[in-house]
Amino acid sequence: MDYVIEMLNIRKEFPGIVANNNINLQVKKGEIHALLGENGAGKSTLMNVLFGLYQPEKGEIKVRGKKVNITDPNVANEQGIGMVHQHFMLVDTFTVTENIVLGSEPKKAGTVNLKHAEEQVRELSERYGLNVDPKAKIRDISVGMQQRVEILKTLYRGAEILIFDEPTAVLTPQEIKELIDIMNSLVKEGKSIILITHKLKEIMEVCDRCTVIRKGRGIGTLDVADTNPTELASLMVGREVSFSSEKTKANPEDVFLSVKDLMVKDVRGVEMVKGLNLEVRAGEIVGIAGVDGNGQSELIEAITGLRKSEAGSIHLHNKPITNLTPRKVTQSGVSHIPQDRHKFGLILDFPIGENMVLQSYHGKPYSKKGIMNFKQIYKKAKALISEYDVRTPSAETPARSLSGGNQQKAIIGREVDRSPDLIIAAQPTRGLDVGAIEFIHQKLIEERDKGRAVLLLSFELDEIMNLSDRISVIFDGKIIADVKPEETSEQELGLLMAGNSTEKAGEQ
């Protein structure tokens, strides 16, 4: 069997660490090959080497059996290697076609000729069942569609080998299903796919083979048919991993957070939360399930004071906190693990240590009469860093240089350490690996057991089912159903999230 891609004994060093230590990756033509590893294991480094963004210190790359020297992404493109990035690289105000041709625009007498390109895009889109409108503007289409535009971009450039970098992180369960169909139709047409992921379920579902790397070393390549999630997880983490978080039954006490008839508008002035009612009791985890864009973000921003509530009320312990400033809400005992850790959770250019006191720098002992006490700050930061296992070269390292999982652990450490009464965790494990997810889930359950109220927002049904004591389904700005995880199924939740009422869902 011929390999379409061979990466042999790849070694890549960064100052202080060996990111890839003699890793081998061999991809057969027409297969979906998973690249599995924890955050920071070296998956992205390896793919960036393949895509020409990094030059390896040692090792060789063969494409279709021929040794090549991939010095930059253009060479990778010429070799038929395309990358579907996790963070889309699209111009919002351009159309689908304009985005696809960007960088290799078809020119006609000095002007861009889009007609022909549009036809090509339409044809490609039909062939692989992508169903993308070439004339739509990026800002008007869903995240799932935007990802397909990224796929089209690589196909348009003639890619034969597609690298998907954690493609399902941003998708809804329905969109994930559709993506899997697309990937299957791609390989049917003779393309090869490398899937970077740490979601074992996806690997089991779509992949033919799987290469596992751990801490920069290649652990081995397995046929997916001969393995199981437990084996993969322990290979990846290097120890036994439990999937369902162990937890006892919740003992809900008094209502801690109560939201009544809340109305919130988004940036554009469109009403996103439309008379929402919600209660969270002390000692329980309430999961909000819903498709992205049904008012979840606005709800959380309204509770935390980041966005104005137009009508309705929010009470904490029977005290109104509607439209208080974020600082006042925080001081009333609310912790917030924000959905977007780069935009809200961290100041990436600050040292990780100073980020640890982002919510508490203004009080003793971190400052006194307006003068910062960095000795105390770093003392606290170091304690949190070791307690929450944040892997960083030092507390002075800029938050930007940490991996996503470690950034998230730092945020969780900061937010949980303040012993809040209510923890709002928005997508707390987005983009993290099994080990980190396990850790974070454990922490949230611990906090629940200490009698704290936890409001969990997640687009991962697994996480919602696994962690919640009660699930509230949000649709079109309202909570339309309240179910117990043990009395429902993913299917029922999926239907509810699509706006079917409980009765209808029951019938189907």
Partner 1 sequence: MFSNRIVNILIPIISVLLGLLFGAIIMLIFGYNPVTGFAALWNGAFGDSYFIGETVRQVTPYILSGLAVAFALRSGLLNIGVEGQVFMGWLASVWIGISLDLPMVLHLPLAILAAAVAGAFWGFIPGILKAKLGVHEVIVTIMMNYIALYLSNSIVRNLLTDGADRTENVAATASLQSSWLSEMTFYSRIHYGFIIALFMAFIMWFIINRTTTGFELRAVGFNQNASKYAGMNVSKNIILAMVISGSFAGLAGAMEGLGTFGFMSIKSGFTNIGFDGIAVALLGANTAVGVILAAFLFGVLKIGALNMPTEAGVPTELVEIIIALIIFFVASSYMIRWIILRFKKEGK
Q: Which residues in this chain contact partner 1 in the complex, by CB under 8 A?
A: 304, 306, 325-328, 330, 336, 338, 343-350, 354, 358-359, 361-362, 367, 370-372
Q: Shortest Cβ distance from residue 382 to partner 1 (Å)?
A: 19
The token pair at 503 is: 């009765």
Of the pair 211, 304, the CB lying nearest partner 1 is at 304
490 in Cβ contact with 308 (< 8 Å)? no
Q: Shortest Cβ distance from residue 338 to partner 1 (Å)?
A: 6
> What is the DSSP track for 450-508?
TT-EEEEE-S-HHHHHHH-SEEEEEETTEEEEEE-GGG--HHHHHHHHTT--HHHHHH-
Q: Shortest Cβ distance from residue 348 to partner 1 (Å)?
A: 7
Q: Shortest Cβ distance from residue 470 to partner 1 (Å)?
A: 27
> What is the DSSP track for 105-160?
--EETTEE-HHHHHHHHHHHHHHTT----TTSBGGGS-HHHHHHHHHHHHHHTT-S
Q: Which residues contact 413 (CB under 8 A, 6 or more apart)?
A: 356, 384, 385, 387, 388, 390
Of the pair 40, 345, the CB lying nearest partner 1 is at 345
SS3 376: helix
Of the pair 110, 370, the CB lying nearest partner 1 is at 370
Of the pair 82, 413, the CB lying nearest partner 1 is at 413
Q: Shortest Cβ distance from residue 463 to partner 1 (Å)?
A: 22
Of the pair 154, 330, the CB lying nearest partner 1 is at 330
CA 373 – CA 366 distance, rounded (Å): 5
Q: Shortest Cβ distance from residue 280 to partner 1 (Å)?
A: 20
Return the closest-CA partner of residue 498 out of 468, 455, 456, 461: 461
Q: Shortest Cβ distance from residue 12 to partner 1 (Å)?
A: 13
Q: Shortest Cβ distance from residue 5 to partner 1 (Å)?
A: 26
Residue 18's beta-bridge partner residues? 13
Return the closest-CA partner of residue 68 out of 46, 84, 51, 85: 51
Of all helices (H) and strands (E), which one includes residue 312? strand 309-316
Of the pair 78, 266, the CB lying nearest partner 1 is at 266
Return the closest-CA partner of residue 237 out of 289, 200, 202, 286: 200
CA 217 – CA 225 distance, rounded (Å): 23
Of the pair 339, 403, the CB lying nearest partner 1 is at 339
Of the pair 207, 402, the CB lying nearest partner 1 is at 402
The token pair at 110 is: 């000095």
